[in-house]
Amino acid sequence: MHTKAKNITTLFVLLLMLLSIITVSMTVGDFKMAPMQFIKTLFGMGNETDTMVLYEFRMPRLLVTILCGAALSLSGALLQSITKNPLADPGIVGINAGSGFFIALLIIFMPVDSNNFVYILPLFSMIGGLITAAVVFMLSSSRRGVNPMQMVLTGVGLSTALSGAMIMMTSTFNKEDVEFISKWLGGNIWGDTWPFVGMIACILLITLPILFMKLNILNILNTHEHISTGLGININRERLLICIIAVMLCASAVSICGSIAFVGLIAPHIARQLVGPRHQAFIPITLLLGAILLSFADTLGRLLIEPAGMPAGIIVSIIGAPYFLYLMRKGL
């Protein structure tokens, strides 16, 4: 009962933090809006200008950062669980770079109509992420399973190679495409309109019910493999399914918000420290922490440099890189 009360309290505190960030994000910027003005506009009692600013510009961007942050953190949590590697993160193991490389290929060889961009871009991003994840897992696996340190080194090496190739390819781009790739590499939230909100929301609505049905299996997969086998679980099939879901979540998020690393590393670690490793409590807290981290980074970036804003990916990296080095030093 004590643990349950602690978990509920943690959830409540994180929800308050997220609500605070939402309020700040909606009221600051070039067009200032008082908190009461924001609440009135939210419930349809604002003037025409306030309503346009809130619902056409600020609300979709905020929802994109919240949903993408949740997707990235969940992707990292799943990768850490199935590999038993606390350093696993979609950015660190190269999935982000693979997604970006395929997005660059799409821009070069298949100019896409702007009306279809929201649907085609995530698809190519997922293909790139899945191929990269398969290569990383293959190169870092042995008979004894996935080597955590080998996985990180392989992912970083592959990520560097793909990022270099992507930068070389930009020499063939026109000015607009170069600007887009530059923003993507910096982790700039570019897909900040309602169609992108709908796209990432659909991905989460498809994957979350499957994952919540797999929570007990994830708990078992975190134990010794003999226990999993003894309980009749097909380890390879379950890991493959969960890995595909993790890549889908990450690839769809980075196709909208750019190459953002460390969200999938930081959020699961903090969640485990707050509520423990049991997935029934750990996954919801991870989702909330990811949403808080990315929405906070985007809001802070807009406040630091107005009006252009500092990319959220840079803010997250400033927080995440020291945290990653701290975990490495602990020998995790």
Query: What's the pLDDT tens digit per position in 269-325?
Result: 999 999 988 999 999 999 999 999 999 999 998 888 766 678 888 899 898 888 888
Q: What are the Cα distances from residue 83, in Å, to 161, 201, 220, 235?
A: 23, 26, 13, 11
- Report whether 299 contacts 309 (CB < 8 A): no
Q: Is the pLDDT of residue 231 over 80?
A: no
Ranking 138-152, 231-245, 250-264 by mean pLDDT, the lowest is 138-152
Average pLDDT estimate for 16-21: 95
**pLDDT tens per residue, range 24-71:** 999 887 778 888 888 888 888 878 888 888 898 899 999 999 999 999
Locate 152 and state its tokens. Answer: 């990180």
Q: What is the pLDDT of residue 74?
A: 96
Q: Is the pLDDT of residue 188 over 80?
A: yes
Locate 64 and state its tokens. Answer: 């994109």
Exposed/middle/buried for residue 168 (C-beta within 10 Å: 0-12, 13-18, 19+): exposed
Q: Which residues contact 192 (CB under 8 A, 6 or more apart)?
A: 57, 60, 61, 64
- Which amino acid makes up residue 70? A
Locate 264 and state its tokens. Answer: 């999938």
Smallest CA-to-CA distance from 80 within 272, 285, 291 is with 272
What Rg, from alpha-carbon coordinates, does the chain have? 20
Ranking 80-89, 250-259, 282-291 by mean pLDDT, the lowest is 80-89
Q: Is the pLDDT of residue 1 over 50?
A: no
Helices (H), the chain: 2-27, 35-42, 48-52, 59-83, 95-109, 117-139, 148-169, 175-185, 194-213, 215-221, 225-230, 235-257, 263-275, 279-304, 312-330
Helices (H), 277-311: 279-304
Q: SS3 sequence, 57-125?
A: HHHHHHHHHHHHHHHHHHHHHHHHHHHCCCCCCCCCCCHHHHHHHHHHHHHHHCCCCCCCHHHHHHHHH
Banded model confidence at residue 2, pLDDT cuts 50, 70, 90: low
Average pLDDT across the chain, whole number: 85
Q: What is the pLDDT of residue 85?
A: 79
Average pLDDT estimate for 177-201: 84
Higher pLDDT, 102 or 182: 102
- Which amino acid makes up residue 170? T
- Report whether 66 contacts 200 (CB < 8 A): no
**pLDDT tens per residue, range 128-168:** 988 998 898 888 877 666 666 777 788 888 988 998 888 88
Q: What is the pLDDT of residue 36?
A: 87
Q: Long-range contact list for 214-221, CB < 8 A, 24+ apart? A: 214/238, 214/241, 214/242, 215/279, 215/280, 215/283, 216/279, 218/78, 218/81, 218/82, 218/242, 218/279, 219/278, 219/279, 219/280, 221/81, 221/82
Smallest CA-to-CA distance from 149 within 136, 135, 160 is with 136
Phi, psi (deg, nearest 5) at residue 146: -80, 125
- Which amino acid makes up residue 133? A
